Amino acid sequence: MTSNPQDDMRDEIEQPVEATVAEPEDALDPREAELLAVTTERDELKDRLLRSLAESENIRKRAERDRRDAEAYGGTKLARDLLSVHDNLGRALGMIDEEMREKLSAVVEGLELTQRELVATFAKHRIEKISPAVGDRFDPKLHQAMFEAPVPGAEPGSVIQVMVEGFTIADRLLRPAQVGVAAALPAEARADA
């Protein structure tokens, strides 16, 4: 009798399922499963703890930096407002001629004392003058060009006039020095020089 290949296959398929599906020998017993779950949870908690500690350290560093900045630069607005007082005292003292100085010596002395005290207070709070000299190179980080003019004998890009002194507070610019800057001479003026 010849066997039909389809019948043979059907016989193989109909064999008991138990024979084809083997019992896993390394199935986890309940204690091992619980240990694996606890270990996984521990690892997750450890990771969260490390992340929280890193975040806390970053917050601490940021707070310390903010505290230092507030200490160094906290009075910036007040200092900027006091600069006009400094400028006006300087202008007032500059307008006093010798005759007025003799007549109003006590007032002049009071103004000079007030200006010195203001400058000393600035120094105490790390507020420093930017006083470029005529001929210094123009520095756009510290100076503000108010005008540009060709000046014979002056190097282009150099300071030719200081209109208002500048100030820094703890190495930050508070107000740039306002200056006039030498421009390049026109071609015909250079030929004459």
Tokens describing residue 38: 């606890």
Only one residue has tokens 């420093």, namely 128
Domain positions in the chain are 127-185
Alpha-carbon gap, residue 154 to 41, rounded angstroms: 76
Q: Are 193 and 156 in contact (CB under 8 A)?
A: no
pLDDT at 108: 93
Number of C-beta neighbours around residue 19 at 10 A? 7
> Which CATH architecture best describes the domain 127-185?
Roll (2.30)
- 2 pLDDT band (50/70/90 cuts)? low
Containing H/E element for 159?
strand 159-164
Q: How far apart are CA 73 and CA 79, in angstroms?
A: 10
Using DSSP's 3-state secondary structure scheme, residue 146 falls into: strand
Contact 133, 159 (CB under 8 A): yes
Residue 3: phi and psi, rounded to 5, are: -95, 140
Mean pLDDT estimate for the chain: 87
Amino acid 72: pLDDT: 83
For 51-94, the pLDDT digits (tens) are 999 999 999 999 999 999 888 888 899 999 999 999 999 999 99
| pLDDT score, position 48 | 96
pLDDT of 10-32, one tens digit each?
Answer: 665 555 555 454 455 556 688 99
Whether residue 173 has pLDDT greater than 80: yes
Which phi and psi (to 5°) does residue 162 adopt?
-110, 115
